[in-house]
Amino acid sequence: MLSPADVDRIAALARLELTDEERARFATQLSAILAYADQVQQAETSAAAAEAAAPGDARMRDDLPLPCLDRGLVLSQAPAADRAAGLFKVPRVLGS
């Protein structure tokens, strides 16, 4: 059973701001979902372990320079940007 403190800890990991109402509701709902998901523990998976651990079949390609999106076009979708300098802008990262 997740406590509201657990919910806060997970929300912080996910960078999510929750309302008080969401914190209370999510503690119950996430606990129910995780209790249901616990069913996977019943499965005997030793035969599958090696297979699951094997890498997928993602295809590799040569590392070549190729045409990419226009910088101005990309920056046009940014909430804040210095288009002349070609930069995304964000609020300050350090200090108060």
Binding interface with another protein (CB under 8 A): 7, 10-11, 13-18, 22, 25-26, 29-30, 32-34, 36-43, 45, 47-49, 51-52, 56, 58-59, 61, 69-70, 73-74, 76-80, 88, 90-93
Q: Indicate if the alpha-carbon torsion angle 81, 87, 88, 91 is positive or negative.
A: negative
Smallest separation, CB 92 to another protein (Å): 6
Q: Which is nearer to another protein, 85 or 93 (CB)?
A: 93
* Residue entry with tokens 């651990």: 53
Give the Cβ contact number of residue 7 at 10 Å.
22
Letter for the amino acid at 88? F
